Amino acid sequence: MVTAFLTAHPDEAFTATKISRRLEHSSGAIANSLAALAKSGIARQVSEYPRRYQYAPPQSDTPADTNN
């Protein structure tokens, strides 16, 4: 649910409180989810105070094609 919310707004950063109001779930549960998503690389924390999180698009493991 939190992942879907972040992917729907990839260019914005949100606090747990803001997401909790939109999803109508507790801010504590959302904060725990955001911390887990940041640890797994799906989201990134973009500010410390207030803690704001943003979707972190997956990085490709292969180098870009240079058409050599």
Query: Tokens standing for 52?
Result: 């704001």
Q: What is the pLDDT of residues 20-63, one digit of tens each?
A: 999 999 999 999 999 999 999 999 999 999 999 999 988 755 45
- Please list, residue by residue across 47-59, b when 16 or more beta carbons sit within 10 angstroms of its beta carbon and e when fewer do: eeeebbbbbbeee
30: nearest Cα among 5, 8, 55: 5
Query: Does residue 68 have a pLDDT over 60?
Result: no
Query: Does residue 5 have a pLDDT over 80?
Result: yes
What dihedral do alpha carbons 36, 60, 3, 35 form, nearest 10°?
A: 20
Q: Which of 65 and 1 is assigned the larger pLDDT?
A: 1
| Residue 67 pLDDT class (50, 70, 90 cuts) | low
